[in-house]
Amino acid sequence: MIRIPEFVSKLTPYKVGKPIEELAREKKLERIVKLASNENPLGPSPRAVEAIQNALGQLNRYTDPTSHELVQALARKYSIQPEHIVCGHGTDSLIAYVINAFTEEKDEILTCEGTFIGIYVSARKFGRRLATVPLKNYTFDLKAILRAVSENTRIIYLANPNNPTGTMFGYREFEAFMAEVPDDILVILDEAYTAYAGSNPDYPNGVRYDYENMVVMRTLSKAYGLGGLRIGFAVGPRKIIDTIYKVKLPFEPNVLAQKAAVAAVDDDEFLERTVETNRKALEMMQARFDRIGIEYVPTSANFILLLLPDQHSAEQFTAGCLDRGLIVRHVAAFGIPNGIRVNSGTYDEMEFGLDIIERVYSDVVAPDKDNVSQVGAN
């Protein structure tokens, strides 16, 4: 009999939601709006679409393992030396490479409970010990993380803004934290939502730092609208980047993803339109939630975390929205069992979605906010 390692046998395969078309047939719905995955409601950059169309004739060729053209574009955009950049199939892939390259079985990965589920999954896939501390006011508690560092800690994972809470820590707090982190611990700074937070003068733009023990993750899945192509990049010291290349699958990202990304990162007009659409959508959501009386966490990203009284209410709320054609994300798996994440959309999607949220909240959820669970609010 084939032996399966215990840490693998305990894993649960990623569970995807039903395709929208199947859901529509099953529930007999004429319209479904998805506000669950933090996607760009405007679609992909038009320049990216054009670049894909122009590249279709190259599909017989293997992709460039170094993503040379894309790395050069990113280097120009962010004023970074090309040798400090590596591209991969999104943040999930890059996080897995970092864990593979810089930890062994006895090592520990330290983060907060209530953050991006990808770090939990990647740690467990490699059989690594995962240590967590609570969030503080739904934000990364950097002081608590420092106190939790052990002799086995090899990686600290931070998400700024955090997913699924949307909160961010400022540059003063971040710099004080980095000054205290032992230099043999690698810090992963995940900046998937930097496009939405970057205008805040307090935001610590990770690619502007040159810490020898930090690697910054960025994705083109969110603001740039390339989620279906799975492409992201990491920025760090050359020694870190060279080591990631040793464990990285050679032929990724694929050729279409690379060509689309090169075009997208220079499409400033599309990015500005995306950020403005998000700003208006967040204003609509906050105004409606305030009027309804739904508790939520102030955000610096492209989504808002709703706080329901308890996990059961959150489950009922999610199901009630789905029955009416609105897909939202219950984030119990992230470590916030009473949380519902709702991402921004177009004006029309917001009108549709907010009407459903108001009806479901009125019908399903007891509006006793005093009973809201304090998970993540320590």
**What's the CATH code of the domain at 215?**
3.40.640.10
Residue 224 lies inside a defined structural domain of this protein: yes
- Record the tokens describing residue 194, joined without a space: 């930097």
Query: Per-residue pLDDT tens for 235-262?
Result: 999 999 999 999 999 999 999 999 999 9
Q: Are residues 86 and 234 in the same domain?
A: yes
Task: Give percent above pLDDT 90 in the chain.
Answer: 87
State yes or no: cis peptide before 237, omega within 30 of 0: no
Say if 340 falls within a structural domain. yes
Pair 145, 173 in one domain: yes
Same domain for 160 and 259?
yes
The amino acid occupying position 338 is N
Residues 24 and 107 in one domain: no
Phi, psi at 9, each rounded to 5°: -60, -25
Q: Verify that 363 and 237 share a domain, yes or no.
A: no
| Segment 48-69 mean pLDDT | 96
Give yes or no: residues 22 and 51 share one domain: no
Which residues are CB-contacts of 277 (< 8 A; sequence separation ≥ 6)? Answer: 41, 42, 344, 346
Q: How many domains are there within the chain? A: 2
Q: Is residue 308 part of a domain?
A: yes
98 and 83 both lie in a single domain: yes
Residue-number span of the structural domain to which 361 is assigned: 16-43+269-371
Residue 5 domain flag: no
> What does the longest C-alpha to C-alpha distance in the chain come to?
60
Domain boundary among 231, 264, 297: 264
Question: What are the pLDDT digits (tens) for 216-240?
Answer: 999 999 999 999 999 999 999 999 9
For residues 261 and 48, is the Cβ–Cβ distance under 8 A?
yes
Q: Report residue 63 as tokens.
A: 């992709």
For 48-179, strand residue ranges (E) read 85-88, 108-113, 129-134, 153-159
Convert the pLDDT of each residue in 7-37 to its tens digit: 888 877 777 666 788 777 788 888 999 999 9
Element (H, E) at 306: strand 303-307
C-alpha 351/C-alpha 356 separation (Å) is 9
Identify the domain boundary among 264, 280, 299. 264
Average pLDDT for 321-341: 96
Q: CB neighbours (10 Å) of residue 17?
A: 13
- The last residue of one of the domains, among 235, 264, 293, is 264
The mean of the pLDDT values for the chain is 93
The mean pLDDT of 48-60, rounded to a whole number, is 96
Question: How does pLDDT run across 120-178, given as a tens digit for each residue?
Answer: 999 999 999 999 999 999 999 999 999 999 999 999 999 999 999 999 999 999 999 99
Could you tell me if 245 and 170 lie in one domain? yes
User: Is residue 10 assigned to a domain?
Assistant: no
DSSP state letters, 363-377: HHS---GGG---TT-
Q: Tokens 């994440």 map to which residue? A: 341
Q: Is residue 4 part of a domain?
A: no
69 in a domain, yes or no? Answer: yes
Q: Is residue 317 domain-shared with residue 302, that is, in the same domain?
A: yes
Please report the pLDDT score of residue 20 as a whole number.
81
Q: With beta carbons less than 8 A apart as the criterion, state whether 207 and 80 touch.
A: yes
CATH code of the domain containing 21: 3.90.1150.10
Is there a single domain that holds both residue 136 and residue 22?
no
pTM score: 0.93
Could you tell me the CA-to-CA distances from 182 to 144, 217, 344, 366 in Å, in that order?
15, 20, 38, 47
For position 17, what pLDDT does the model report?
A: 66
Q: Are residues 289 and 164 in the same domain?
A: no
Are both 62 and 164 inside the same structural domain? yes
Domain-located, residue 197: yes
CA pair distance 178, 201, nearest whole angstrom: 19
Question: CB neighbours of 219 closer than 8 A, spacing ≥ 6?
Answer: 90, 91, 192, 231, 232
